[in-house]
Amino acid sequence: MPSDVPVSPGDRFVLDLEGFEQLLLALRSGGHELVGPTVRDGAIVLDHIDGIGDLPRGMGDEQRPGYYRLRPRDDDQLFGFAVPVQPWKRHFLPARLDLVQIRKKGSSLEAEDATSPAAPIAVFGARPCEVAAMRVQDRVLREGPYPDHDYASRRQAAFVLAVSCGAPADTCFCTSMGTGPRADSGFDLAATELTKPTHRFLIEVGTEKGGQALAGLTLTNATADDTRAADAVIRGAVDEMGLRLDSASLPERLLANLESPRWDEVAERCLGCGSCTFACPTCFCTTVQDTTDLGGEVATRTRTWDSCFSADFAYIHGGSVRPTLRDRYRQWHTHKLATWVEQFGTSGCVGCGRCTTWCPVGIDLVAEATAVGENRG
C-alpha cells in the first residue's frame, strides 16, 4: 500500500527484511537510541545496535536450571532465541544513578539534581513476557502514589517494538502467567518473524506512535496466509513450552504454607547471591549510598539496585527481620508470586525463567512454587 496512507492501531502489515531495516533506521533518525539483542561474549545480550546486521541472525539459546549456552540454528532467524541475558529494566531503572549532589559554597551548602536527562531509546525486539514486565514495573514505579520521575520520563520517551516468541527455552512458562508468547498490549509495534516461503515480519500497530514510525515505509497489507503463518508460530511456541505453573489460587496456596518444610530444603541449596533478583525483569528494590570527594567539597547521593537476599536489606534497629536464608528466600518467592498481587493487582512474575537459568545452583522457581503450593517437603 502507499506509504502515505494513514495507519491506525490494530492495522496489520508485512515488512520484508529491507523494510524491517528501514524501520530501524527511521526510529534512529527520529532521535531514538536503538537497543536490542546482539551476540557478545558467548551470550545474547541487550546493547546498542545500528541495524539488523547487529541482531543474532541464525543464533538460538539453550537454557535450563543453572545453564545457558548459545547454539546455531539451521535458519537465518533474527529472533530465534528465548530471552536475552539481561532484563530491559536496566534501561528504565538503571543499576546505578546519581540522584543529587551537595556542594560547599562558602559557609553554605547547595543541592543540585545530579540526574541527567536520558536519551530516548527504541526497545527493539522485546519478548511479550518482557513487555508484560514493563507494565508490571509501570504499575509500581510510574502509576503509584509516589512515582519515580526518572523512571517515568524514560518510559514515556521509549518506543517499544515487541517480537512474538517462537523459540521458548526449557525455563520459560509465560503461557502459565498469561504473558505470551504473543504480545497483547503495551507495545507501539509488535512483530512476528516468518521465514517461509520468504523471510518477513507480520507487523501489528499498537499505538499512534507506532503508526507514525511506519510513515514513509512501503507497506504491504497482511494476507490471510500471513496471519495463519503467524498463528502457527504462536501455536508452535505454546506446544514447545513444556513447563507449566498452576497459577490458579497460587497466592492463597503459598501463603497457607509459610511453614512448609520445603522452605528449609531450598534454603540449604540457596547461596543468597541475589542473582534471581537482578536477572528478574520486575524486581525493583533499590538502596541509596552517600559518598564525598577527597576534599570534602562535594557529596553525592547515588541510587543502586539492591536485593531482598541481602542480610542488610531487612535490617532495622536491633537487627534484621529476616536473618536466615530461609526467611529471605521465602520473602522473595511469596512476594513475587503472592503478596505482589495484593499490593499491585498483578503477579510479580511474567514467566521469563531468567531466575531459574541464572541461579548458580539451579533452583527452579516453578518446581519450588508447585511443591510449596501442594505442601510437599
Identify the pLDDT of residue 282.
98
Q: What is the mean pLDDT of residues 185-189?
A: 97
Bond before 65 cis per omega within 30 degrees: no
Tell which phi-psi region holds residue 318, choosing left (phi > 0), alpha (psi between -120 and 50) or beta. left
Q: What is the phi/psi pair of residue 309, to 5°?
A: -85, -10
Identify the pLDDT of residue 161.
98
Contact 174, 165 (CB under 8 A): yes
Identify the pLDDT of residue 2.
44
Amino acid at 71: R
Rounded CA separation 232/159 (Å): 27
Identify the pLDDT of residue 5.
60
pTM: 0.93
Statement: residue 146 has pLDDT above 50:
yes
Amino acid at 15: L
Instruction: Provide CB contacts within 8 A for 285, sequence distance 6+.
Output: 277, 305, 306, 307, 308, 313
Helix axes 262-269, 325-334, angle to 10 degrees: 110
Q: What is the phi/psi pair of residue 105, to 5°?
A: -130, 90
Rounded CA separation 242/363 (Å): 17
Identify the pLDDT of residue 63.
98
Q: What is the mean pLDDT of residues 252-278?
A: 96
Statement: residue 311 has pLDDT above 80:
yes
Confidence class for position 7, pLDDT limits 50, 70, 90 = confident
Instruction: Provide CB contacts within 8 A for 210, sequence distance 6+.
Output: 7, 9, 159, 187, 188, 189
Amino acid at 43: A
pLDDT digits (tens, 9 = 90+) for 50-85: 999 999 999 999 999 999 999 999 999 999 999 999
Rounded CA separation 249/374 (Å): 12
Mean pLDDT of the chain: 94
% of the chain beyond a pLDDT of 70: 98
Residue 19: which H helix or E strand, with range? helix 17-29
Statement: residue 106 has pLDDT above 90:
no
Q: What is the mean pLDDT of residues 321-339?
A: 96
Rounded CA separation 121/50 (Å): 12
Identify the pLDDT of residue 319.
87
Confidence class for position 145, pLDDT limits 50, 70, 90 = confident
Cell 504499575, residue located: 139
Rounded CA separation 192/29 (Å): 24
pLDDT digits (tens, 9 = 90+) for 267-310: 999 999 999 999 999 999 999 999 999 888 899 999 999 999 99
Contact 307, 285 (CB under 8 A): yes
Q: Which residue has the higher pLDDT, 262 or 248?
A: 262
Identify the pLDDT of residue 4.
56
DSSP 91: G
Rounded CA separation 75/73 (Å): 5
Dig out the grid coordinates for 261 from the structure: 518444610
